[in-house]
Amino acid sequence: MFYPLKFDHKYVAKIWGGRKLKNYRDDLPDGDIGESWDISAYDDKISVVKNGKLAGKNLKELCELFPVQILGEKLKNSDFPLLIKIIDAQSKLSIQVHPDEDSAEDNENVSAKNEAWYIIDAEPESYVIAGTKDCSKNEFKKAVENNEIDNYINKIRVKKGDVFFVKAGLLHAIGPGVFLAEVQQSSDTTYRVYDYGRDRELHLDKALEAIDFGVQAERRKGLKVENDSYNITYYCLNKKFALDMIEINSSYRSSGEKNRFYIYTAVKGSGTINWNDKSLEIKEADSILIPAYAGEYSITGELILLRSYVPDIKKTETDILSIIE
């Protein structure tokens, strides 16, 4: 009964958004679309299944009806923990921060949020902001109030294929001309620090409490393991989520892992997911959920997939070590 699931898209108009998703989708609504929430059980943007016998059911319903089969035996008592977005930034996003576990615990209805970015496409000179330069909390606050924030932010030029881990507490923003896939905890808690004069609410005091002025971010180098028909690069591993990249040259075979679900997000090329006598197309900017009890499947084609999941850290570390030894 359980099989690879494809969902509808929940589009969000943003003042900084654009129309780039039109190059990948035929269901884009009018307006400047900044975000597509592609796998979500959060708030009012809950994904609805498009394919197979479970079509029409939403992800929150599935986790309530079949917690073990969808989430896995290790995650069955939790809400769906991850959120997958595609982001089209055609102008500057606000400079912001997400709280970590300690900050979130001090505030009711606030959830911590770690995330990771994969740059699917980027215009020349595009950049992201990731971290602060050497400054104190008071120096940074004064710079924000005096519109001198550029003196204290860390800008990094980006290109296709770059990966960043945006740890909770890291000051960050996406610059114009960046098109990316975002894997994150299922949370929408954001403290806006600076918004380039746009008429939106700022949360400077809360942000100053949440910012970790000692944390920086750089491109992730990853650990690449080569196989005959596919390669895997391990990019992020923490207790909230793991992010790997699978480059498929011809085929990749796997099966549902009964302890946890997996999400595949295509960031280049196209292919087909095959199980039993059925198949499902996956193309660039698509995301597919593999339930824990999905059984065996194969992916064929020439494509690059992100694989996101909630890991058993010790098991994953052991698996990686067994390969490189």
Kind and range of the H or E run holding 94: none
What distance in Å separates the CA atoms of residue 176 and residue 88, rounded to the nearest whole number?
A: 9
Of 152, 90, 94, give the one whose Cα is nearest residue 126: 90
pLDDT tens-digit series, residues 246-269: 999 999 999 999 999 999 999 999
Check residue 107 and give its pLDDT: 61
State in words which class domain 5-210 has.
mainly beta
Q: What is the per-residue pLDDT for 323? A: 74
Per-residue pLDDT reduced to its tens digit, 12-69: 999 999 999 999 999 999 999 999 999 999 999 999 999 999 999 999 999 999 999 9
Active site residues: 192
What pLDDT score does 315 carry? 85
pLDDT at residue 104 in the model = 59
Domain boundaries, the chain: 5-210, 223-324
For the chain, give the number of residues.
Answer: 325
Q: In this structure, are residues 194 and 211 in contact, taking their beta carbons and an 8 Å threshold?
A: no
Asked whether this chain's domains 5-210 and 223-324 adopt the same fold, the reply is yes
pTM of the model: 0.95
Q: What is the mean pLDDT of each run of 10 residues along the chain (325 residues)?
A: 96 98 97 98 96 97 97 93 98 95 64 93 97 94 95 96 96 98 95 94 95 90 92 95 97 95 98 97 98 97 98 87 74
> Is CATH 1.20.1440.230 the classification given to domain 223-324?
no
Cβ atoms of 289 and 39 closer than 8 Å: yes
